[in-house]
Amino acid sequence: MMRKVLEKDGFHWIDLVSPSHEELDQISKEFGLPSQSVQDCLDPEHLPKVEKFEDHFFIIVRAFGDRNFDDPDAHTVQDLTRKIAVFLRNNVIITIRRSPISFLEQLVERWSKQRNASKELSLTILTQILEEVIWSYERPLDRAEETMDQFESRVFSGKQFREDLIEEVYFLKRKVSVVKKLLRRVIDVTYKIDTNTKYGLLMVEDLRQDGDRLSFFADSILENLDNLLATNLSIASHRTGEVLRVLTLFSVFFMPLTFIVGIYGMNFKFMPELEWPLGYLGIWILMVSVTALIFIWFKRKGWLN
């Protein structure tokens, strides 16, 4: 579908949603766009990039999509984001996407009602699109922070260790890594946009600051997730150590007792204690005494705490 959003004083904004090959060929011929760049618009796997030609820019960015961030099946670039291609000239801007994107629909509706043309109109529209793209990553980062807080509560709740928590933290970290990687690529796009006016420089600089702010936020989440994984593994190791300590204490108590009963369980004929009338009672006294001595020794060492 092709829409002419804005036509004013020689300026054109054309928006294409899931265009056909015929519509792309028509746009390519009408505005003299490179055929290779036009074909890139149909590739759903392209990462953000900027190509500069003699009289125009070709820009690809990816915005976070409307798919639920908690969806366990969504963890790739194509699952989590939607591609937007932009051709930019002084008096023409062409946006191309494979599916409707809510914030771009709102921009189209707003500019279709615009009556007053502003200076550097194409750059103004482009920066508004890039701003919405950058801030589309705020929602998944906020959701990731909330999920991370839930993981922390589970780790320090004192409940039984759950092995699946490590896998959940890993997949969350993977999603945040995808968000950060794409966000950095969108920020890199802003550094390749040429503008020689103070107005344009201010708009682009605002975009970079917003992007850097979200990028630092993503770095913080990734660092906390790494710490959470390390803490989770440390707690699991500590609990394993506690189990081994208890088992070791039991083995130390029973080792001398096993030794004693092992000796008197041998079937040798000439064992003097076997004929002793108080032998059974004596062995019990010996075993109880050994157990008490081991207990007192462990108690003084603090190994039973």
Q: What is the mean pLDDT of residues 104-119?
A: 73
Q: Is the pLDDT of residue 112 over 80?
A: no
**Per-residue confidence at 163, pLDDT binned at 50, 70, 90?**
low
pLDDT tens profile 43-65: 777 888 888 887 778 888 988 87
Q: CATH for 1-118?
A: 3.30.460.20
Mark residue 164 as left, alpha or beta (left: phi above 0; alpha: psi -120 to 50; beta: remaining).
Answer: alpha
DSSP annotation of 47 reads P
Q: Could you tell me how far CA 105 lies from the centroid of its own chain?
A: 27
Q: Which of 100-104, 194-198, 205-209 has the highest mean pLDDT?
A: 205-209
Q: How confident is the model at residue 220 (pLDDT cuts 50, 70, 90)?
A: very high
Identity of the amino acid at 97: R
User: Side-chain half-sphere of 283: how many Cα atoms within 13 Å?
Assistant: 16
Task: Tell me how far apart the alpha carbons of residues 204 and 209 are, in angstroms, rounded to a whole number.
Answer: 9
Architecture of domain 247-301: Up-down Bundle (1.20)
Residue with tokens 């157990």: 291
The answer to whether 69 and 78 are in contact (CB under 8 A) is no
Sort strands 49-52 and 57-64 into parallel, antiparallel or unpaired: antiparallel
| pLDDT score of 159 more than 60 | no
Percent of the chain whose pLDDT exceeds 70: 89
Q: Model pTM?
A: 0.73
> How many residues in total does the chain contain?
305
Closest alpha carbon to 5 in 125, 156, 131:
125
Q: Return mean pLDDT, the chain.
A: 81
pLDDT digits (tens, 9 = 90+) for 175-192: 899 889 989 988 888 888
pLDDT exceeds cutoff 90 at 216: yes
Q: Which two tokens stand for residue 160?
A: 């039984």
- Confidence bin at 223 (pLDDT 50/70/90): very high
Task: Provide the CA 130 distance to its chain's centre, in angstroms.
Answer: 22
Residue spans of the domains in the chain: they are 1-118, 247-301
In this model, does residue 305 exceed pLDDT 80? no
Name the one residue in this structure whose structure tokens are 């040429």: 194
Q: Are the CB atoms for 14 and 27 separated by under 8 Å?
A: yes
